[in-house]
Structure 1
């Protein structure tokens, strides 16, 4: 009898344990509630940036679409609720001209309407814009459930909170983002005066550019520069652009950047540079050779098509990214433009710009992009976007040391294609002399930005020499004339280009 009672007691005890483990306790309920509350609470910008920095510092490309719904939604909350959706049957289905993705777009819009605001919103309440060229829609999204639903849908190439401004929340970021209207008195050792009175930067001689001018000066080639615009205050980049030894060419200025916090705004603020960076880049590539005593550009007889596509050099924000993509699309459609120079970028990929780069590349444009210039908030990053794309040619800057050494603020890495000497070794202030923002003024410009514009100018020299060539032939000639060819250095690509050898 005692044995039976013992067995019964053990069975009852076991059943009690099982019963307790299955019943929700107060602690379990509280834990579930806490998880639900956390999921409904967006991450802070500090937390979002920390994750972006973690991925970027590992030399991987940060992609928003690889993040979970809560992370993307959190960034959307802090970015005016703007979400950009690239749709299509696969990653290459981005161009409306060759696409049958209309059904995908309509289905996604219907899904948003069904989920957003518990299905109480009309399409006009959330649809900000539909791109004319690419399979892209911009929508205003408030609900986490909408992001979750979209990520589960087929036909989405990428989903990005394009209103989120990384730089605004990065406390260690420097102000200005590459902007400045400065001028400097050039050291006489940093230039040589040539007829009819122009200054040739010392860096040009490092690449035999003056010798290459005996064969080509860029005539007949259009260089598209996408940056912060072009100064209205320097006549040499305006009415006197076609002057002296620079003749029979033209300069055109456009603006695609919308300076507004309101996503529905579509009026641009014009083509004029309000930063200073764009003026420096256009001048390095194309400034005239005349008797004004100012620094000359690499391709001083090339045509210039300048686009103000962004506010500064960091492609941070909806209107900046849209402005650059629109500029790329416009330049891609021009038959007179052969070369595109972009001394701008971001530490993470931007789907809309990626689509536009591929669009221009497919139309035969040779696109040069800056490999990256370090600041206190990006010195942990490798080659930045869009230089990280295979469709662009990535360029960085090096010093004039007797061995390859990146400039004080330049990025390097396996995705770099070429380098340009643009800094005196051990002296960060002695960089490339360039025409300044105002009349009769010059300045020094460094970093991968000036390296990119310089290389774009060299490409124009080659293409002018061989006008029937394709972009592949021009690029191959640049490679063949560089230091490391036929090999590629793991950090510096093919190295420094010999412009003379490239045009011969």
Structure 2
């Protein structure tokens, strides 16, 4: 029986559900228009700046890198290039549609013969937008790596026709077209361990110098801890979801395999045809980190996957020293990842990312009077001495005068 894969999103389960689901807008900025998510050219734009981008100084970030010419393979449900923010971000000629023409019951699969630049589900279009959406007038939403190139690899759909075999084939295609980063926002259903073909494909991508980023999973409610694949394999950067407080989102999967966390709640992104919608899930945390990986690869093209991953982990924002099973090494900090990069590293340090408060400067211990007190005392002595001297001189002068007067009076009588 083939191992099936599911896309990692809280709200997207079927194409019909996606088209009808009411999505909440982030509280950080006002949303314009209806919050009903539809796939049409008249779909509203998000006028403000999403909270996940408000936490980043984009000018400082982009002064270091914009991800120019870095190819990011998005293995997902396709990427719709009719959204104007993705039209020039996607290279459809390098993409591929790997969906089988028929399912196990020999029924036609919707979209099986379509191009990888179409997306009836909207999941892959959201993922691609978070990575590399181009700036556009009228919205504050933009991809973290707005000069990176998206390679769309359609491997899954709303019915979950993606398997370990098709995912392995998708990774092989990404290797063939020389992608530098691979984003996988899906995992095996029921945390089933896939076969060797998929694991071998992941290792082959890593050996080819490709950074592999995967979502950790959305089954974290109730403290559920379990491995997910391909996220939990060595070398893959597993991404959990964080909220506005830099804490683990309640749904986010926990485990020792988690590398870092990234925003995954109320994530604004592009949808098919045009405009934006909000969604939740580690599906949208992973591309946030994949965008950072693209920025690093553009600035440091010779860095290995291990060095890129270690850089992201080391510069993440942490509340404790070392690794945490909830958010890994911390919540990704794009600016620090691009500015604290003097030399490559192989693994993060336990104390990296923590803010150490400086101890207050102790007061100097002085036995007796301080220099200031001594100066004041001497000044007082001098003032008193001068006063006494003046008084003594004045008194002496008066006594001498009186003595002269008495002597003259005595001489006059005699």
- Measured against the shorter chain, the TM-score band is 0.5 to 0.7
Map of 1:369 onto structure 2: 214
Aligned-pair Cα RMSD in Å: 3.5
Aligned residues of 1:332 and 1:361 also touching (Cα < 8 A): no
Q: Would you say 1:176 and 2:19 are equivalent positions?
A: no
State which of 201, 207, 214 in structure 1 corresponds to 2:63: 214
Change in CA separation of 1:174 and 1:303 when aligned onto 2, cut-off 3 Å:
closer
Deviation at 1:357, TM superposition (A): 1.3
Q: CA deviation at 1:353?
A: 2.0
Q: CA 1:165 to 1:357, structure 2 compared with 1: closer, same or farther past 3 Å? A: closer
Counterpart check, 1:204 vs 2:53: yes
Q: 1:208 to 1:251 in 2, by over 3 A?
A: farther
The verdict on how the C-alpha distance between 1:178 and 1:479 changes in structure 2, with shifts beyond 3 A counting, is: farther
Instruction: Identify the residue that residue 29 of structure 2 maps to in structure 1.
Output: 190
The residue correspondences of 1:289-368 to structure 2 (distance < 5 A) are 289-293=135-139, 295-312=141-158, 320-335=163-178, 337-346=179-188, 347-351=191-195, 352-368=197-213
Equivalent in the alignment of 1:407: 249
1:495 to 330, 335, 339: 330
2: CA distance, partners of 1:166 / 1:202: 30
Structure having greater relative contact order (Cα 8 Å, sep ≥ 6): 2
Q: Does the CA-based 8 Å contact 2:220-2:250 persist in structure 1?
A: no
Per-residue CA deviations over 1:141-174 (Å, capped at 9, x if unaligned) read xxxxxxxxxxxxxxxxxxxx21x7699xxxxx99
Work out the CA distance in 2 between the residues paired with 1:482 and 1:446: 21
Judge conservation of contact 1:285–1:454 (CA < 8 Å) in 2: yes
Among candidates 455, 464, 467, match of residue 289 of structure 2: 455
CA-CA distance at 1:421 after TM superposition:
2.8
Q: 1:432, CA displacement in angstroms? A: 1.6
TM-score w.r.t. structure 1 length? 0.55
Contact 1:414–1:492, Cα closer than 8 Å, also in 2 = no
Matched, 1:382 2:217: no
Contact 1:209-1:499 at 8 Å conserved across structures: no
- Distance in 2, Cα, partners of 1:449 & 1:303: 19
Q: Distance in 1 between matches of 2:264 and 2:13?
A: 23
Runs of 4+ in structure 1 off by over 6 angstroms are 164-167, 263-267
- Does the CA-based 8 Å contact 1:459-1:474 persist in structure 2? yes
Aligned equivalent of 2:387: none
Larger radius of gyration: 2
> SS of the counterpart of 2:306?
helix
> What's the CA shift for 1:184?
5.8
Do the aligned partners of residues 463 and 263 (structure 1) sit closer, same or farther apart at CA in structure 2, a change above 3 Å counting? farther
- The alpha-carbon distance between structure 1 residues 175 and 288, as it changes in their structure 2 partners (threshold 3 A), is closer
Aligned-partner Cα distance in 1 for 2:16–2:314: 32
> Which stretch shifts more, 443-452 or 366-375?
366-375
Is 1:422 the counterpart of 2:271? The answer is no
**Residues 375, 488 of structure 1: alpha-carbon distance in 2 compared, 3 angstrom cutoff:** closer
